[in-house]
Structure 1
Amino acid sequence: MTGTAVVTGLGVVAPNGLGAEQFWAATRAGRSGLGPISRFDAADYPVRFAGEVRDFVARDHVPGRLIPQTDHWTHLGLAAADMALRDAAVDPGTVGEYEMAVVTASSSGGTEFGQREIERLWSKGPGWVGAYQSIAWFYAATTGQISIRHGMRGPCGVLAAEQAGALDALGQARRLSRRGATVVIGGGVDASLCPYGLTAQLSTGLLSTWADVTTAYAPFDEDARGYLPGEGGAMFVVEDAAAAAARGARAYGVLAGHAATFDPPPGSARPPTLERAIRAALADADLRPADVDVVFADAAGWPAADRAEASALAAVFGPGEVPVTAPKTMTGRAYAGATMDVAAALLALRDQVIPPTVGVRSVVPDYRLDLVRDRARPARLRHALVLARGHGGFNSALVVSAAGPVTRQGPSGGRHGGN
């Protein structure tokens, strides 16, 4: 396995911005996309806020014939993949069909489509259930539709590991690129803001039911009370660095290292494995902890989970020794759409600035975190670590590195800046 995998295209569909640059401008400015749920009447649900991709109109991005055949989740995925291909200036028609691969992540599949068809089954009978129900709900539907639309007949797959799957998909995209795929579409989106989808999420007991949207999702805060759900995500074009340079493509950054672990069962007396995932990802990237300039946290928003993540970071990097941020406080936790954190990390490397965490008023002192809050922080950034945990014990860590030389310095001339 040889070669360096770089990201040459970004496509983002986020609650606070449609398209990579709109998303990044809002994220840098600390503009949240969280608000009242509008995709259905949530008045009788304990969770009434979420991150919705409100400006998305399917017919503007998806061929008309595909709209009734596929779920909203797949519409978002198709749009993000198209954005990424355009951004990378890749024409799939000029690449061998078996040289192109697709790997995505999904946590929920097509829940909105599935709910609609199940309602028809219960209210009208089996004759009213459409044939597309058999495939539109399935976790691999978005991978399949991207593959079909662009004639990508190389290795294709899907990973289902809740939030962790978002990073695992990019780890797999890196492997496929290094094994010879010319173009890989990698990433993940989720969209499960319907009654069935929200009820399924509520079953974990981890969602915030707080009545103030500005503080309902406040990870690492002394008043942390859970998280708000989100939809959307990001897709990436991944290529071999030498091949990308040969065609004159711009590289946002390098997929430098990845590792995944699985926690032992609760009550087993064995520790969680996030720290091990971090160390393994750094080893895969051939980096020391001191080389990491920023961490994009999983930021679960529950005290026990926040404490475990803070402890892992302190064990690897030292207390408060690396800036930490959680821009997903502006989008909600979008499960497989945690790829938005990877997009933010790559854009942070490009612009040499750490985006803020919003909604956090008072960080628990014992966490010993240098949490970037309220406003962006200029900094010298070469390597970023992105973390994601999935309900049930999944952990994933991804290292992304700048593709070229870094010259800009933060206010303090080093890793830390004033905030």
Structure 2
Amino acid sequence: MSTTHTRTVITGMAAVTPIGLGTEEFWKAALTGANGISELARFDASGYPSRLAGQILDFEARDHLPSRLLPQTDVSTRYALVAADRALADAEVAAGTLPDYDMGVVTSNALGGFEFTHHEFRKLWSQGPEFVSVYESFAWFYAVNTGQISIRNAMRGPSAALVAEQAGGLDAIGHARRTVRRGTRLVLSGGVDSALDPWGWAAQLAGGRVSTSDDPARAYLPFDREAAGYVPGEGGAILIVEDAESAHERGVARVHGEVLGYAATFDPRPGSGRPPGLRRAAELALEEAGLTPAGIDVVFADAAGIPDLDRAEAEAVTGLFGRGRVPVTAPKALTGRMYAGGGPADVIMALLALRDQVIPGTPGTSDVPDDYGLDLVIGEPRERAMTHALVLARGRWGFNSAVVVGAPQR
């Protein structure tokens, strides 16, 4: 199969986020500005400097998964398995739809199974090693979501697990596209994260970038003059990336869109005097998509919510597109930064924006510095004719990723 001419389409997708456990619920919440950020409910966080998180509050694993899986899975893996089930159903993929070696799994995870590991370590320290679950050997691992999804759905084709913090989810989609273009008919891809137990929470706060605000509506303000950190979130999204010809052959009724371009770069070392790599990632993704900057109708921003990082992203966007030349949005302020889950969730949001020809707003943000030069969509959603969207993500320690998606061909 030619890697040059193979078209890769999105035939299924599912979101599991603080503002919706279903794709349409997620989309409706984004358009109405429903805030998924609240005070931590998993443990008593009153003694911590930061106490707000984007939490999934209405998920009961036993309602969605067989009981045999519960003792061996972290909460993040449970989210991933449910999202995978829903994305496969959306793509009309069931047992026997395709040969098992024609289907692969590529996921990203940035935090591992913190809650599972914390629980088992407490047993180790308080009761002894004989009380530690045998499943601790893999339930904490970054590759466990790929493995569990693969086993549950008999997907034995080329598979991988990627780690690049917030950028990892887009990297997973890019690698899935590459895998399809190399001959695998279908790849399940995306990212999911959760680390809202005391150990995981302390690890996130140690980075020094988490907002200390106690106001859910003002804690995470991407590109705002008062931006002072982000709010961690949990969840993410799973997508089905498929060879367009194969999807047509098996009679897929609906295609959500097409993955047209992907690129990743790494920032130079601090103090080198060289610019960050985000703009270059966007340029390379557009080049692979065969588009010029004028062909992009909306940008879904990484939106760190930290002044120097927001400014750097604004410079990347305006340097590529010009001042105020393209609408920019960051609906992730409703969910918090979901790490590996953030990029795939933004890809779903972008595909839905192209479908409905409307851009969701950036909640909370109201005062964008003029020198950022951004046309940031704030307040109400904005209607606009759109065909292509650019999704950006940055991971801590220098990871940059960009994905270009297009509306399905008519």
TM bucket (normalised to shorter chain) is over 0.9
Root-mean-square deviation over aligned CA pairs: 0.9
Paired residue for 1:277?
A: 281
Q: Does 1:361 align with 2:366?
A: yes
1:375 is aligned to 2:380: yes
Residue in structure 2 matched with residue 323 of structure 1 by the alignment: 327
Structure 1 unpaired stretches of 5+: 406-419
In the other structure, the counterpart of 1:228 is 231
Segment of structure 1 superposing worse, 264-273 or 109-118: 264-273
Deviation for aligned residue 1:54: 1.0
The yes-or-no answer on 1:388 pairing with 2:390 is no
Say yes or no: does 1:302 pair with 2:306: yes
Aligned equivalent of 2:214, options 211, 214, 219: 211
Whole-angstrom distance in 1 between the partners of 2:393 and 2:230: 14
Which residue number corresponds to residue 76 of structure 1?
A: 79
Query: Is 1:291–2:310 an aligned residue pair?
Result: no
Deviation at residue 41 of structure 1 after TM alignment: 1.4
Distance 1:92 1:172, change over 3 A: farther
Shift of 1:123: 1.1
1:414 aligns with: none
- What do the CA deviations read for 1:196-229 (whole angstroms, capped 9, x no partner)? 1111111111100012110110011000000000
The one-letter amino acid paired with 2:137 is S
Deviation digits for residues 141-181 of structure 1 (CA, Å, limit 9, x no counterpart): 01000000011111111100001101000001111111121
Q: Could you tell me which residue of structure 2 aligns to residue 404 of structure 1?
A: 409
Partner of 1:133: 136
In structure 2, the residue matched to 1:93 is 96
Q: Please, which moves more after superposition, 264-273 or 327-336?
A: 264-273
Q: Deviations over 1:294-331 (max 9, x none)?
A: 00000000000000000000100000100000010000
> Partners of 1:295 and 1:115 in 2: how far apart?
38
Q: Matched residue of 2:96: which SS?
A: helix
Query: In the aligned structure 1, how far is the partner of 2:68 from the partner of 2:206?
Result: 35
Q: Does 1:123 align with 2:126?
A: yes
Instruction: Decide which of 115, 138, 144 is 2:147's aligned counterpart.
Output: 144
Matches within 5 A, 1:136-285: 136-249=139-252, 250-285=254-289
Equivalent pairs counted in the alignment come to 405
Match for 2:327: what amino acid? P
For residue 92 of structure 1, give the secondary structure of its aligned residue in structure 2: coil
Partner of 1:348: 353
Which amino acid is the alignment partner of residue 45 of structure 1?
A: Y
Secondary structure in structure 2 of the residue aligned to 1:18: coil
The one-letter amino acid paired with 2:389 is A
Letter in 2 for 1:239: E
- Aligned equivalents of 2:378, 2:336: Cα separation in 1: 16
CA distance in 1, matches of 2:123, 2:355: 49
Matched, 1:10 2:13: yes
CA distance in 2: counterparts of 1:100 and 1:243, whole angstroms: 12
Moved over 3 A (4+): none
Match of 2:37 in 1: 34
Separation of aligned partners in 2, 1:69 and 1:137: 10
For 1:87 and 1:157, the matched residues in 2 are separated by 22
Note the alpha carbon deviations across 1:270-311, whole angstroms, 9 max, x for none: 211111111000001010000000000000000000000000
Q: Which amino acid aligns with 1:351?
A: D
Pair 1:334 & 2:338 matched: yes
What letter is aligned with 1:24?
W
Corresponding residue number in structure 2 for 1:410: none
How many angstroms apart in 2 are the aligned matches of 1:331 and 1:316? 28
Q: Deviations over 1:90-142 (max 9, x none)?
A: 11333111111000000011000000011111111111111000100000001
The 1-side partners of 2:365 and 2:97 are apart by 48
Instruction: Flag structure 2 segments of 5+ consecutive residues without an equivalent.
Output: none
Q: Provide the rounded CA distance (Å) in 2 between the counterparts of 1:176 and 1:378.
A: 35
Within 2, Cα distance between the matches of 1:69 and 1:247? 35
Q: Normalised by the size of structure 1, how large is the TM-score?
A: 0.95
Aligned residues with identical type, % of pairs? 57
Q: Distance in 2 between matches of 1:168 and 1:379?
A: 28
* Deviation for aligned residue 1:369: 0.7
AA at the equivalent of 1:162:
E
> Which residue number corresponds to residue 416 of structure 1?
none
Give distance in 2, aligned partners of 1:183 and 1:358. 35
- Matching residue's letter, 2:191: G
1:94 and 1:287 mapped to 2: Cα distance?
34
